[in-house]
Chains A and B, each alone.
Chain A
Amino acid sequence: MTTTTEPAVTTSQERQSRNPPGTEATKAMGGPGAQALRRRRRADALFSYAALTPAFIILLGFTVLPFLLSAWRSVRNPAGEFTSANYERMLNDGVFHQVISNQLVYTAVTVPATIAISLFLAVLGTKVVRGRSLARVSFLAPAVLPIVAAGTIWVYFYQPNFGVLNGIARAIGLSGVNWLGTSDTALGAMMVVAVWQQAGLFVIFYLAALLTQDPQLREAARVEGTRAWTFFRRVTWPLLMPTTLFIGVIATANSFKQVDLVFVMTQGGPSDSTNLMLYYVWQTAFGQFRQEYSAAITVMLVIILLLIAIAQIRLLDKRIHYR
């Protein structure tokens, strides 16, 4: 009994080891192999720049350039001389002060409220078993509605005589409130609409993040006797931080971009109680034709946004665990 296959195997191995791989030798000498590698790297870099160019042009042409033009315009008077008059005017403009304070209240309330409500709905959404897709579509419904339409619908809800809210109030024996017609309630009423309108979209982000979390983490914690709330606070919430930062930045940007609801619901009134920054920019530029002043306010708006963005990222980045 003899084996016949094994010698064949050894000879093929020997043949391989006798020929040293050619590539290593050429690499060491900087030969044609290295040249091809350099060419390849250059081609890769060129392609990367080419792919970036369209986005770069749009960013430059529609964001950076207009901002620089606005900044230029805000420091020149109609005669073409440099002046700081537009910025000095801000200091004494009572409406502008009102607008800034409205804006800060609006941002400080809508951003956390949006985060809290969308997270709450998302957590509920993960627990839904029956009619799961119906629930998700209904979360998203307000977000696909045009803001103008949403605003108009809510104007009817808030309407003092035949609006739904006052209808309910009267039915249970309370006197109604002129929600949008009173300085004390108008901004609050508008914030409710804004949160309702944008929370739905963020529910989807939170839902996606929650569904990617490993369910075994909860099981491991359950076996160890961790209560649901403790688990949420110590595991779920920290792991959602990247999503929360994202939502926080978008919601903040949305709050500064808010003009649609102001247009449809209040036009900034009553007595500027719902006047927000972007609406005031529009008012000064196209309502009062004070375009240099409007440009100065725009510059202020950008500076405030930059500060907030830097603060948000600085503050949260350290506490975020990215996978």
Chain B
Amino acid sequence: MSTVQLRGMRKSFPSRSGEVEVLKGIDVTVEDGEFLAILGPSGCGKSTLLRLISGLELATGGSVSIDGTDVTGTAPEKRQLAMVFQNYALFPHLNVQENILFGLKSRGADKQLRSERLTEAAGLLGLDELLERKPSELSGGQRQRVALGRALVSGQRLVLMDEPLSNLDAKLRAEMRVELKRIQRRIGLTIIYVTHDQVEAMTMADRVLMMSEGRVEQLAAPEEIYSTPATTTVGRFIGSPPMNIVDIPADSDLAYLLPGEFRDTGATLGVRPESVELHSAGQPVPGHRVYLAEATVLVNELLGADRIISTTLADDAAPTTGRRITARLEPGRKIAVEEPVSLSASPADLHWYSRNDGTRMNLAALQAA
């Protein structure tokens, strides 16, 4: 059993101009055996949140419970957890074996337990042949696995990870993602995983906690966070290229797009690039699609399996002039730069957000369509 409960977690740091509030009240419950990814841009407070859970940093307000026990003021070593650091934090003068067993040894675990755990972890991580090497003789991926091994032999069911793959190259990162997920499933670990890489969060996590500026933007399964972003911030952060976000005031030239409820207030439109379709300018849009706007093709990029077209809304669309809309099309499409086009999308693919705070607004009418 390893559940984690956070209630109203706050953290502020003193600075020259008074207190800086880094976390502004975080509530989340992590279930036993769950892989929770904390995702957000740098400086959003995600690492701080992890350090509060670990006990390396103490909260200004709120409470942390692990397995139902309040540990808000408990020292890290008494919290029953293991941690993997971004730069691995390996002891440079100790070899792989000593590094992995450091914690067990300093807590006085007996020799048999130590060698059992070592064999197990080394086998699981493929470290058998590296046990005598020093960290300086290892590659980045191997160091990463040693750091992971150190967390595994501790026998803790709750593992906190702070951007553990960010120092690896792209290919290795992809391999380690699969590896990490495999180990987590096999042992049934509860993992809280901090990352700024949406791919890591989307591929490994059972649920994603998206943070921005010290607040929770959305807490949901990866599919949901992609298909129905709760705020424009989430939409802008997740997806590559990210969601197109266009602000449409009530008096703008694009006001015809606004559903009935927002005719007076205006709204923000979000639409994923893969939902946008390009048509030759002036041609009528097929009946089941919604006509969006006229635009000019700006950049045409082929990314192998996809073709990404960036367009800018046409000149006569006064207040929205210069707005970029990207579309993801099949690679075979031939489109010239500077070509005038008209954009369309399926009505079900339009997401509406409040113009004030960027939160999602669900429409009964739209859902029906």
Contact = CB atoms under 8 A, between A and B. Distances in A.
A153 B283 CA distance: 99
Majority SS at the chain B contact face: loop
Interface string A1-33: 111110000000000000000000000000000
Contact of B83 (A223, A234, A321, A323): A223
Contact of A217 (B78, B91, B335): B91
Given A3-B300, A227-B106, A230-B106, A222 B336 contact: no
Interface in A174-199: none
B93 A222 contact: no
A224 interface: yes
A238 B93 contact: yes
Interface in B77-130: 77-78, 81-83, 85, 87, 89, 91-93, 102-103, 106-107
Given A239-B92, A323-B92, A223 B54 contact: yes
Given A2-B334, A214-B87, A321-B93, A223 B77 contact: yes
Interface string A210-222: 0000101101111
Interface in A121-176: none
A105 to B, nearest CB: 33
A238 B98 CA distance: 14
A226 B76 contact: no
A230 B107 CA distance: 10
A127 B287 CA distance: 72
A21 B89 CA distance: 45
Contact of A225 (B56, B93, B103, B337): B103
Given A5-B337, A224-B82, A227-B106, A239 B93 contact: yes
Interface string B330-347: 000111110100000000
Contact of B339 (A1, A219, A231): A1
Chain A residues touching B, range: 20 to 34
A223 B81 contact: yes
A235 interface: yes
Contacts of B81: 223
Interface string B3-45: 0000000000000000000000000000000000000000000
Contacts of A222: 56, 75-77
A227 to B, nearest CB: 7
B87 A216 contact: yes
Contact of A224 (B103, B300, B334): B103
7 cross-chain pairs, A with B, having the tightest CB-CB distances, nearest first:
A224-B103, A321-B93, A225-B77, A220-B89, A226-B106, A216-B89, A1-B334
Interface of A: 1-5, 214, 216-217, 219-227, 230-231, 234-235, 238-239, 321, 323
24 contacts: A3-B300, A4-B336, A214-B89, A216-B87, A217-B89, A219-B56, A219-B85, A219-B89, A222-B76, A223-B55, A223-B56, A223-B76, A223-B77, A223-B103, A224-B154, A225-B103, A225-B106, A225-B107, A226-B77, A231-B106, A234-B106, A239-B92, A239-B93, A321-B134
